[in-house]
């Protein structure tokens, strides 16, 4: 009940008042019972746009956000869990994989670039975590492009791409896994062409 209310508030405030968010090809995500949702990342509020509009969603967020106890408490209640960036956080990776094993339907929001990309940067470098989790959880990845560096009260495009599956062959080879992750990022940014 609490999550439904929070999503309702987020939808009105962040998708209609502070920004005007347009979702394109969202059926690519909606037709799946479980998947990873993987967008580019340049705005602090991007997670709210996807969270507000997605059923059964969990979010992987940087651990620093959980340092404030009240924020950490609310995040956990809303199925948002921490990841320690810049290190191999095995506990969080296993938690992400187990989410899919313990739920009939689950969507997990992960930003493959691992951080917000600053205005002067064209794009970041993809981390391999999303591909690894998708394979281990046996779920597809849905690439998503979000308009970069948007200002308050402006229009935002959120464009969903076709699901991508990760094979055993890719995960077993470190170079192939890194290459796949970069190709995933390519597909994310290519969705910009649909604007």
Q: What is the pTM of this model?
A: 0.94
Task: Identify whether the C-beta of residue 131 lies closer than 8 Å to the C-beta of residue 38.
Answer: no
Q: What is the pLDDT of residues 147-170, one digit of tens each?
A: 999 999 999 999 999 999 999 999
d(CA 90, CA 84): 10
d(CA 1, CA 84): 29
Residues whose CB is less than 8 angstroms from the CB of residue 109 and which lie 6 or more positions away in sequence, other chains included: 36, 37, 39, 47, 50, 51, 54, 57, 58, 59, 60
Tell me what pLDDT residue 68 has: 87
Task: Identify whether the C-beta of residue 44 lies closer than 8 Å to the C-beta of residue 65.
Answer: no
Tell me what pLDDT residue 181 has: 97
Measure CA 154 to chain center.
Answer: 22
Predicted confidence (pLDDT) at residue 175 exceeds the cutoff of 80 = yes
Q: At what angle do helices 90-102 and 129-137 cross, to 10 degrees?
A: 30
The owner of tokens 């779920």 is 139
Q: Quote the DSSP letter at residue 117.
A: P
Band (pLDDT 50/70/90 cuts) for residue 89 is confident
Q: How far is CA 59 from CA 56, 152, 170, 193, in A?
A: 10, 23, 25, 27
Q: How far is CA 91 from CA 4, 84, 88, 95, 192, in A?
A: 28, 10, 9, 6, 34
Domains by residue range for the chain, with CATH = 2-194 (3.40.1130.10)
Task: Kindly state the percentage of the chain with pLDDT values over 70.
Answer: 99
β 141-146/155-160 pair status: antiparallel
């Amino acid at each position: 009940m609490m999550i439904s209310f929070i999503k309702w508030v987020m939808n009105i405030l962040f998708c209609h008042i502070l920004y005007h968010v347009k979702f394109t090809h969202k059926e690519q995500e909606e037709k799946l019972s479980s998947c990873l949702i993987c967008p580019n990342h340049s705005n602090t509020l991007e997670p709210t746009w996807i969270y507000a509009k997605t059923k059964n969603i969990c979010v992987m967020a940087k651990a620093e956000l959980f340092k404030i106890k009240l924020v950490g408490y609310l995040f956990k209640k809303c199925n948002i869990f921490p990841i320690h960036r810049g290190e191999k956080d095995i506990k969080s990776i296993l938690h992400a994989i187990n989410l899919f094993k313990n739920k009939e339907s689950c969507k997990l929001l992960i930003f493959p670039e691992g951080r917000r990309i600053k205005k002067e940067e064209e794009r970041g470098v993809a981390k391999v975590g999303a591909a690894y989790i998708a394979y281990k959880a046996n779920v597809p990845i849905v690439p998503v492009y979000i308009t970069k560096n948007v200002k308050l009260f402006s229009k935002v495009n959120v464009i969903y791409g076709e699901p991508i599956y990760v094979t055993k062959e890719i995960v077993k080879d470190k170079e192939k896994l890194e290459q796949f992750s970069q190709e995933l990022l390519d597909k994310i940014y290519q969705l910009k062409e649909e604007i």
